[in-house]
Amino acid sequence: MRRFTLDAPIPGSESLLIDRRLTNEDIDWLRKLRNARATNEPSPDIPTSVVRRLTQLACAEVRGGKYAITFRGRDELLDREKDPN
């Protein structure tokens, strides 16, 4: 049985993996979706082109006619906020 410890760094954990296919507009809409979810407000009306791109990249999904951010979308926002560039 192999035992793992938390003392050793995980390979590749130092660098952030950011999806460069997302535009600044996409990131702005992901933030709006996240904020709407956090305040229990209905999701904003997102332009069709942005919805298509976010759903194709699995950053957002349609649930009952409303838009929701996915775990991948939330992770993408966190990575962007950590990125110093």
Span 33-69, pLDDT tens digits = 999 889 988 888 888 899 889 999 898 998 888 888 8
Q: Is residue 11 part of a domain?
A: no
Cβ distance 81 to 20 under 8 Å?
Answer: no
Neighbours of 51 (CB within 10 A): 16
Q: Does residue 69 belong to any structural domain of this protein? A: yes
**Residue 72 structural domain:** 24-82
Q: CA angle, corner 36, sides to 15 and 44, nearest 5?
A: 105
Q: Based on the structure, what is the number of domains in the chain?
A: 1
Q: Does residue 71 belong to any structural domain of this protein?
A: yes
**Average pLDDT for the chain:** 79
Residue 78: the pLDDT is: 87
